[in-house]
Amino acid sequence: MGNRTLGAGAGAEKTPSKTPRNRGVGTLIITAYGIFAVSAFARAFYQIAPFPQEGKVQFVDAPLALTLSAFAAAVYVVATLALARTSPTAWSVALAAVLIEMAGVIGVGAWTLVQPELFEVATVWGGFGRDYGFIPLILPFVGLFWLLRHRP
């Protein structure tokens, strides 16, 4: 990562924003995304892997919730990697990921309220991220704000 960020840092000097996108407060946002990437991935893995366990909901029982769980994990992983990189392409990818995340947390959050019977298994985005202190709801807005402040 060192070489890439070094080159991008030199380029960022020409733009009005002094701090590169993945530095300063940016490191903080990337850390938050990274933690969610890891925990969402671990959760989806635990939910989907067919471990024989009493009381565990298997994939065939709740395909929708578990697919959404895996999808959320993928979005967080992509968002983390894209936010950490400084190329214009990464900026676009990050923007797309953050917008999908925003739509996901609001959409799935509303969906869990309307049809809770479809979601016996919790996903990261269920109930607007209630299980995670509503941080999944706040995070895309913070990410979007940061991306718009640091256009390539």
Residues that bind other proteins (CB under 8 A): 1, 5, 22-25, 27-28, 30-32, 34-35, 38, 42, 46, 51, 53
| Cβ pair 78, 127 in contact under 8 A | no
CA 31, CA 74: separation in Å to the nearest integer?
16
Burial 39-63 (b: 16+ CB within 10 A, else e): ebbebbeebbeeeeeeeeebeeebe
Min. distance of Cβ 115 from other proteins in angstroms?
27
Nearer to other proteins among residue 24 and residue 116 (C-beta): 24
Question: Taking the complex as a whole, how short is the minimal distance between the CB of residue 81 and other proteins, in angstroms?
Answer: 13
Q: How far apart are CA 129 and CA 142, in angstroms?
A: 15
Output the six-digit token pair for 11.
């380029």
Task: Output 2 or 16, the one with its CB closest to other proteins.
Answer: 2
Helix crossing, 88-114 with 63-84: angle to 10°?
A: 150
The nearest distance, CB 25 to other proteins, in angstroms, is: 6
From residue 90, alpha-carbon distances to 3, 10, 42, 50, 79 in Å are: 16, 17, 24, 34, 9
Cβ 135 to other proteins, closest distance in Å?
Answer: 10
Residue 46 Cβ vs other proteins, minimum distance, rounded to whole Å: 6
Beta carbon nearer to other proteins, 35 or 144: 35
Query: In the complex with other proteins, which residue's Cβ is closer, 13 or 51?
Result: 51
Using the minimum distance from each CB to other proteins, give the nearer residue, 51 or 117. Answer: 51
